[in-house]
Amino acid sequence: MIMKYFIPTLLIAAVFIGCNQPEQVPEQNIQKASMHTHQTVNAQADSMDGYEVQMTEEQWRERLTSAEYRILRNRGTEMPYVNKYYDSKKEGVYYCGACGQPIFTSNTKYESGTGWPSFWKPIKPSVVSEKKDESLFMTRTETVCSRCGSHLGHVFEDGPEPTGLRYCLNSLALDFKPMSLADINTDTLSIIKITKD
């Protein structure tokens, strides 16, 4: 009977601890990361004031699959290593899975060893916002889309140079469009229309 509850609890703990624990990172990267600045939004997670895209929760449920809604709107976390983009090596652009804003490129994606897609820099600082996250008995920095406020994942100060940051994201929070990055200007990328198959 104890094993019935122990194994699911252990799996849940592994998911939440995993995104916090990358492969060994040299101490100098952690120290240098604290010198970098990133946009922080002091707002409650459920507050949508100030976002360009405003929808009711019913509208979000109609727009997103139930799994996407759990991640993007309810701040969920998907399982590591069994998600769509954690090991993708394709060239292209990652968009917010809720509103279609371009947020990361494959040029800044790297293997963090956590089992989630990880990036060391967004396309530009203005496309992501950050919130203090004190859930699960720890303090982390939540990363949200600056256009719609949807949950993407978390950012940590243990990533590679040149930023020292690790944006640890959920694949279900992203849409990927393969394209040659040599042929585009990431500063002028358009917002895509989200269509679900």
CA distances from 132 to 22, 67, 129 (A): 20, 24, 11
Q: Specify whether the CB–CB gap between 128 and 143 falls below 8 A.
A: yes
d(CA 40, CA 18): 24
Give one word for 49, left, alpha or beta, with left for phi > 0 and alpha for psi -120 to 50.
beta
Question: Would you say the C-alpha torsion 60, 62, 67, 70 has a positive or negative sign?
Answer: positive
Residues 68 and 98: beta-carbon distance below 8 Å: yes
Apex 185 CA angle, 180 and 191, nearest 5 = 90
Catalytic residue among 96, 99, 148, 168: 168
Q: Is residue 168 among the annotated active site residues?
A: yes
Specify the length of the chain in residues.
Answer: 197
Residues with a known catalytic role: 168
